[in-house]
């Protein structure tokens, strides 16, 4: 029997949806529809200090106003702490996760000495804390790759961007699974939840593409399947940066959902629609969008 398509939209409730987030939501929703599959919504509220009270419900209302209601129960990451803890414990048992006692300052100075780029953790605590108290927990990427016979360079395919690759050790280093403030890191939560929800298709904004190789390494470490990925074009603010609250993104206007959906459709290269456009046409256009190389078709 063919596997049932399951996709998800995973907003962080740090504010309301805006024109940028609607693009990923619409793309995922259309992709699920065209595959005759299910589209789930997961509220990614692990970063509690950044969450805005009530934003989760408001986001669900915004989606509903656009005609996008999830095909299953909504999952809140804040209720998944036990699963995250169990997974971390498993990784520690395997010798694949270790405590890190470095402060941000210590990491920066170690990076300067090793001439590492600012994004790469230099592995200071990999072989022990040297008397420092444990702060964060990190994945020992090299140990995982060696034990499982994974290549140093993680190759993956994006349905829109094409062939992608990253050397996680060299370009990121041992990344955080549990933060120094005790909060669960996005990478661990997202990998566990995608697997638990049976998500085989991840459709999300292109700004997240850079996390994918890390997530693939972690999926291997946890014995979980790797979904297929599709990263959607970003909406840029007036300053040329990704649209965000900081550069003036306005919350979606619930009074005019079709207008908002049309703007999102335009970003995806779909023709604008009105209430009379058959959904079938929108789905056909969506199929044509896939595997389009954004470099060859700049938007």
**What residues line the site for ligand GLU (CB under 6 A)?**
10-12, 44, 190, 204, 208
Instruction: List 242's β-bridge partners, or say none.
Output: 236
Cβ 171 to ligand GLU shortest distance, Å: 19
Three-state DSSP class for 290?
coil
Cβ 9 to ligand GLU shortest distance, Å: 7
What are the CA-CA distances from residue 108 to residues 120, 123, 167 (Å)?
A: 10, 12, 21
Beta carbon nearer to ligand GLU, 11 or 257: 11
Q: Distance between alpha carbon 36 and the CA centroid of its chain, in Å?
A: 23
The string over 185-220, giving b where at least 16 C-beta atoms fall within 10 Å of a residue's C-beta and e elsewhere, is bbbbbbbbbbbebebbbbbbbbebbebbbbbbbbbb
Beta carbon nearer to ligand GLU, 111 or 197: 197
Cβ 282 to ligand GLU shortest distance, Å: 22
Beta carbon nearer to ligand GLU, 208 or 251: 208
* DSSP designation for 227: P
Are the beta carbons of 100 and 134 closer than 8 angstroms? yes
Beta carbon nearer to ligand GLU, 140 or 211: 211
Beta carbon nearer to ligand GLU, 178 or 231: 231
Distance, first Cα to last Cα, the chain: 39
**Spatial separation of the C-alpha atoms in residues 83 and 103, rounded to whole Å:** 27
Length of the chain: 299
**Spatial separation of the C-alpha atoms in residues 170 and 26, rounded to whole Å:** 35
Beta carbon nearer to ligand GLU, 160 or 204: 204
**Spatial separation of the C-alpha atoms in residues 47 and 70, rounded to whole Å:** 23
Cβ 94 to ligand GLU shortest distance, Å: 24
Cβ 44 to ligand GLU shortest distance, Å: 4
Q: Distance between alpha carbon 293 and the CA centroid of its chain, in Å?
A: 21
Cβ 28 to ligand GLU shortest distance, Å: 9
Cβ 208 to ligand GLU shortest distance, Å: 5
Beta carbon nearer to ligand GLU, 100 or 260: 260
Tokens 């062939």 locate to 163
């Amino acid at each position: 029997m063919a596997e049932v398509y399951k996709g998800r939209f995973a907003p962080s409730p740090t504010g309301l949806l805006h024109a940028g987030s609607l693009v990923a939501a619409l793309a995922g929703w259309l992709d699920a529809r065209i595959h005759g599959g299910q589209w789930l919504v997961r509220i990614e509220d692990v970063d509690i200090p950044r969450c805005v009270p009530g934003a989760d419900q408001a986001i669900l209302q915004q989606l509903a106003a656009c005609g996008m209601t999830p095909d299953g129960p909504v999952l809140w990451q804040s209720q998944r702490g036990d699963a995250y803890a169990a997974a971390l414990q498993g990784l520690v048992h395997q010798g694949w996760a270790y405590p890190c006692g470095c402060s941000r300052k210590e990491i920066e100075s170690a990076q300067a000495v090793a001439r590492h780029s600012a994004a790469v953790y230099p592995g200071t605590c990999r072989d022990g804390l040297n008397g420092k108290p444990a702060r964060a927990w990190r994945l020992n990427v090299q140990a995982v790759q060696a034990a499982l016979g994974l290549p140093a360079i993680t190759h993956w395919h994006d349905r829109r961007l094409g062939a992608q690759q990253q050397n996680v050790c060299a370009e990121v280093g041992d990344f955080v699974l549990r933060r120094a403030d005790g909060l669960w890191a996005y990478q661990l939560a997202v990998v566990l939840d995608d697997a638990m929800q049976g998500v085989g298709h991840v459709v999300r904004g292109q700004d997240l593409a850079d996390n994918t190789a890390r997530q693939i390494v972690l999926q291997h470490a946890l014995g979980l399947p790797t979904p297929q990925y599709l990263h959607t074009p970003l909406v840029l603010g007036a300053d040329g940066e990704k649209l965000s609250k900081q550069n003036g993104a306005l919350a979606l206007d619930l009074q005019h959902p079709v207008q908002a959906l049309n703007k999102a459709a335009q970003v995806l290269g779909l023709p604008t629609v009105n209430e009379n456009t058959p959904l079938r046409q929108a789905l056909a256009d969506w199929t044509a969008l896939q595997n389009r190389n954004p470099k060859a078709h700049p938007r």
